Amino acid sequence: MSAVSLTPRALYEEVAELLRQRIFNRELPPGSWIDELKIAEELGISRTPLREAIKVLAAEGLVTMKVRRGAYVTEVSEQDLREVYELLSLLEADAAGAVCRVASDAELAQLQTLHNELEQAAQPGTGSRERFFELNEAFHLQLLEMARNRWRKQMVADLRKVMKLNRHSSLFKSGRIEESLKEHRAILAAVLERDAERAVQRVRTHFSNGLQAAV
């Protein structure tokens, strides 16, 4: 088996990103053990950077390490999802309120453009579901960027990695994409009007509905 070409940044970071994407793409499904020997051979690397990469993923909650047994991809329980959604609701609702106060008109225009792309991707025959999922997440991350709090942004990024272990399951449910779009429209409208209280409430509703679809 030929070695995969790795870019010249810290080797363990590159390996961590490669494994992260395999987890998100279900090439390494929840509950599966990470075969260090096989992966190290495939990548043409020693086990040292691989183990460092696994530690990074463990810190993110994507893998679970067992003493003297190795590591496996974390399985997300219903309680895990409830806890993650609860924290995301609090953090992202707070961010939406902040955006109403601090975002520039140009930033709000960028958010509107991003939402327009999301609407287009949701139309039958005009885009893939993967594109919709990417834009859906990009909308949320753009709100966080505009809120100007890097610590909150980092916390949400880590929580969203765990949420991806249950990748897209809520949006696959019948009618959920259409409902999610309506909720995004409501969030956007409140933000564009700089109505912080309404923006906060609409983000909370969005996550509440998302959780109901996910569990």
Q: Is residue 3 part of a domain?
A: no
Domain closes at, from 73, 98, 126: 73
| Nearest alpha-carbon partner for 121 in 112, 134, 132, 137 | 132
User: What does the mean pLDDT of the chain come to?
Assistant: 90
Query: What domain range includes position 53?
Result: 11-73
Higher pLDDT, 171 or 39: 39
The verdict on 44 and 102 lying in the same domain is: no
* Number of structural domains found in the chain: 2
| Tokens found for residue 107 | 């930033």
Domain closes at, from 73, 96, 111: 73
Q: Is residue 119 part of a domain?
A: yes
The verdict on 63 and 105 lying in the same domain is: no
Measure the CA–CA gap between 148 and 153, rounded to whole angstroms: 8
The verdict on 114 and 35 lying in the same domain is: no
Domain closes at, from 32, 55, 73: 73
pLDDT band at 133 (very low <50, low <70, confident <90, very high): confident
Query: Whole-model pTM?
Result: 0.79
The verdict on 94 and 158 lying in the same domain is: yes
Cα→Cα distances 178→156, 168, 194, 212, Å? 24, 14, 24, 15
* pLDDT above 80 for 35: yes
The verdict on 69 and 92 lying in the same domain is: no
The verdict on 68 and 84 lying in the same domain is: no
pLDDT in tens, 115-129: 999 999 888 766 677
